[in-house]
Amino acid sequence: MVRVGLTPERLARAGAELADEVGFEHVTVSELARRFDVKVASLYSHLRNSHELKTRIALLALEEVADRGAAALAGRAGKDALAAFADVYRDYAREHPGRYAAMQLRLTPEEAAASAGGRHAQMTRAILRGYDLAEPDQTHAVRLLGSVFHGYVDLELAGGFSHSAPDSQESWTRIVDALDALLRNWPASS
């Protein structure tokens, strides 16, 4: 009976890798146990239930994206920052589709509060410092940017933009251009 040294954190990391390999919807406590060469019941000493595993993977992914975002934003401003941050989302989703799918998991308000979600919003606000937006327009813009990044990446991953011209990279670049233009000329409230 060798002790493998399981911890919730190791399980979450392994779960994240599993998600990238087989898809988040196929992440299962049983499969994870198999990978650690351990009996399934053993994992339940570290995880309340299978949902906790999924939640931990989601939180892990949110942290990783936040870390990448922070790195990308360092020393950048304006459109430069906008484009870099946008690419963080897109690149992460392409590199780690399983983790990205995990990020879509609906968190409870408590889980959300404890997540890196707040950092995401803060970074988006930081980008907007390069533009001249007062509240409440700044919040509207934060929500718009979040929607576009999330929405575009999701549709792209769903295959929505493949096999049709122009290619997705070009749209992505032009959309970031368009967002930059929009933020510089945000329409006054009617």
Partner DNA sequence: CCATTTGCCTAAAAGCTTTAGGCGTGTGCA
Partner DNA sequence: TGCACACGCCTAAAGCTTTTAGGCAAATGG
40, 129, 143, 169: which one contacts its own copies (CB under 8 A)? 143
What is the rounded CA–CA span in Å between residue 172 and residue 177? 9
Ramachandran sector of residue 162 (left: φ over 0; alpha: ψ -120 to 50; beta: rest): beta
For residue 173, which amino acid is it?
T
> For 161, phi and psi rounded to 5 degrees?
-110, 5
User: In the complex, what is the shortest distance from the CB of residue 185 to its own copies, in angstroms, rounded to a whole number?
Assistant: 7
User: In the complex, what is the shortest distance from the CB of residue 6 to its own copies, in angstroms, rounded to a whole number?
Assistant: 26
Please report, as residue ranges, which positions from 43 to 62 form the binding site for its own copies (by CB under 8 A): none
- The sign of the dihedral angle between the CA atoms of 84, 87, 89, 91 is negative
Judged on CB neighbours under 10 Å (0-12, 13-18, 19+), 1 is exposed
From 13-21, 28-36, 67-75, 142-150, give the range in contact with its own copies by CB under 8 A.
142-150
For residue 26, which amino acid is it?
H
Q: Is 87 in the site for its own copies (CB under 8 A)?
A: no
By beta-carbon proximity to its own copies, the closer residue of 67 and 170 is 170
Interface with its own copies by CB under 8 A: which residues? Answer: 104, 106-107, 109, 112, 117, 136-137, 139-141, 143-144, 146-152, 154-155, 157-161, 163-166, 170-171, 174-175, 177-178, 180-182, 185-187, 189-190
